[in-house]
Amino acid sequence: MTMGNKLYIVSTPIGNYEDISLRALSVLKNVDFIICEEFKEARRLLSHFKIEKELVSLNEHNEKESSQEIFLKIKEEKSAALISDSGTPLFSDPGSLLVQMCIDADIDVVPIPGANSLLPALVGSGFNLDKFYYAGWLSPKSDLRKKELLRLKSIKELIVLMETPYRLKAILTDVMKIFGGSTKIVVAFDLTLPTEKFFRGKVSDVLKIVSEKNLKGEFVLLINNRE
């Protein structure tokens, strides 16, 4: 397989390793080096598939310097695969600077589609998917988060939010205060894992379940703000 001096943006599993694509495996096996967020997560993935490659770190702490170094390596006829800790790179993850540098230099940027949390959450929600608003990650600070939710309340669409596991109860509490307890939501919890579960219903009812079970895990939150 001839790779050329290209940057491949490779989607990796969000939990279940069986979700990796054959094309993703082929690229990871054949590129000259792999760009990752954290060495630990990348090594665990590559070890599972018995892939040995040079790893280069690109994360929020070193993005500017590392992007320049990586760009120069690719420019020297090297092929590289960019992966995140899980899922599809560049969604709330570093890498945009490197991608833009390659585009500006007419270096091919090749996306390798695959696992992500957004689409499984949407298609499993039961909501109408003709349109939706991806709001991404809210502020971890309570006051700022409430202001952001107030702004989102004016958007009469299906709203998609991402959050960290330990803030599930906090964000549901804020959503209930801002949108009202009868607002219909879906929490797509632990997607692709054996513990996967969709909690559907009024935000007040879902919050009660989350509190009683003390749930902590990766999740995507969908708010039906059309009604």
* Helix 96-104 and helix 63-75, axial crossing angle in degrees, nearest 10: 40
Rounded-to-integer distance, Cα 61 and Cα 64, Å: 8
Position 79 scores a pLDDT of 96
Domains 7-112 and 118-224 alike in fold: no
**118-224 topology per CATH:** 3.30.950
pLDDT given at position 164:
85
Q: Where are the domains of the chain?
A: 7-112, 118-224
Q: Contact, 152 vs 82, CB < 8 A?
A: no
- Over the stretch 161-208, which tens digit does the pLDDT of each residue have? 998 888 999 999 999 999 999 999 999 999 999 999 999 999 999 999
Homologous superfamily (CATH) of 7-112 is: Tetrapyrrole methylase, N-terminal domain (3.40.1010.10)
Residue 131, pLDDT score: 95
CA angle (179 as vertex; 176, 182 as ends), nearest 5: 70
Which parts of the chain sit beneath pLDDT 50? none
Contact 116, 11 (CB under 8 A): yes
Burial class (CB in 10 A: 0-12, 13-18, 19+), 18: exposed
Taking the C-alpha atoms of residue 38 and residue 53, their distance in angstroms, rounded to an integer, is 14
State residue 208 phi and psi, 5-degree precision. -60, -45
